[in-house]
C-alpha cells in the first residue's frame, strides 16, 4: 500500500528494464465487471502491452486479463483492446509527444485508487542492448557493495 487509498495490483517491471521512463501519467480504464474481479484476484498481465492514441482517444493493447472463474457466459475476451480515460488536452499532449522519434506509451502499474482501477502510463524511449547491459552491471555492482558492507564488521 503506497499513498492513502491506493493499492497496487499489477506492476510491469519489464517496462523499466526495456525503456527509459521520461514522464508518467495516470489514466482511468474502461472495464467490464468480470475484468475487475479478475484484476482484484491478481490475474492480469501488463508484460507486452502498450497504449496508442487513435482518433482522439487513448487505447490500451495486449493487456491480458484472465477470464473470471465464476463468470460463465458473461466473461470477457482476455486480450481485448481497452479504452483509457484522460482529459482531451492530456491526450492531445501525448499524441504530440508520441509522434517524436522513438517515444512510446507503456503501462507501468495497474492499481485501485478510491475503488476505481487506474493505469500508470509512462512516456518512454526504448533502451538499446548496451544500455540494458549497463543497467544490469550497475545493479549487480550495487548488490555486491551492499553485500560487502553487510559482511564487513568493525
CATH number for 36 = 2.40.280.10
The pLDDT of residue 71 is 63
The pLDDT of residue 76 is 67
The pLDDT of residue 67 is 79
The pLDDT of residue 1 is 47
Euclidean distance between the first and final Cα of the chain, in Å?
A: 37
In this predicted model, what pLDDT tens digit does every residue of 121-144 receive, in sequence order?
888 887 777 777 888 888 888 888
Number of domains present in the structure of the chain: 1
List the one residue out of 108, 103, 99 whose CA is nearest residue 123.
Answer: 103
Is residue 91 a part of any domain in this protein? Answer: yes
The pLDDT of residue 69 is 73
The pLDDT of residue 127 is 76
Is residue 12 a part of any domain in this protein? Answer: yes
DSSP secondary structure, 8-58, as one string: EEEE-HHHHHHEEEEEEEEEEE---HHHHHHHHTT-EE-TT-EEEEETTEE
List the one residue out of 61, 44, 138 whose CA is nearest residue 106.
Answer: 61
Is residue 1 a part of any domain in this protein? Answer: no
Is residue 139 a part of any domain in this protein? Answer: yes
Is residue 89 a part of any domain in this protein? Answer: yes
Residues in the chain, pLDDT under 50: 1
Task: Provide the whole-model pTM.
Answer: 0.72
Is residue 47 a part of any domain in this protein? Answer: yes
Cell of 99: 509522434
Is residue 141 a part of any domain in this protein? Answer: yes
Q: 39 vs 33, 35, 47, 104, 130, CA distance in Å?
A: 10, 6, 15, 24, 35
Is residue 15 a part of any domain in this protein? Answer: yes
Q: What sign does the CA torsion over 14, 19, 20, 21 have?
A: negative
Range of the domain at 41: 6-151
Amino acid at each position: 500500500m503506497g499513498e492513502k487509498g491506493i493499492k497496487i495490483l499489477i506492476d510491469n517491471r519489464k517496462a523499466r528494464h526495456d525503456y527509459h521512463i521520461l514522464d508518467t501519467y495516470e489514466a482511468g480504464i474502461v472495464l467490464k465487471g468480470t475484468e475487475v474481479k479478475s484484476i482484484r484476484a491478481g490475474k492480469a498481465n501488463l508484460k507486452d502491452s502498450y497504449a496508442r492514441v487513435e482518433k482522439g482517444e487513448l487505447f490500451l493493447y495486449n493487456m491480458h486479463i484472465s477470464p473470471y472463474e465464476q463468470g460463465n457466459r458473461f466473461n470477457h475476451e482476455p486480450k481485448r483492446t481497452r479504452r483509457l480515460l484522460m482529459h482531451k488536452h492530456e491526450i492531445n499532449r501525448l499524441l504530440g509527444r508520441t509522434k517524436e522519434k522513438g517515444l512510446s506509451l507503456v503501462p507501468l502499474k495497474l492499481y485501485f485508487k478510491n475503488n476505481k482501477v487506474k493505469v500508470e502510463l509512462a512516456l518512454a524511449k526504448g533502451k538499446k542492448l548496451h544500455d540494458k547491459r549497463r543497467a544490469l552491471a550497475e545493479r549487480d555492482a550495487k548488490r555486491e557493495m551492499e553485500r560487502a558492507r553487510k559482511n564487513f564488521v568493525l
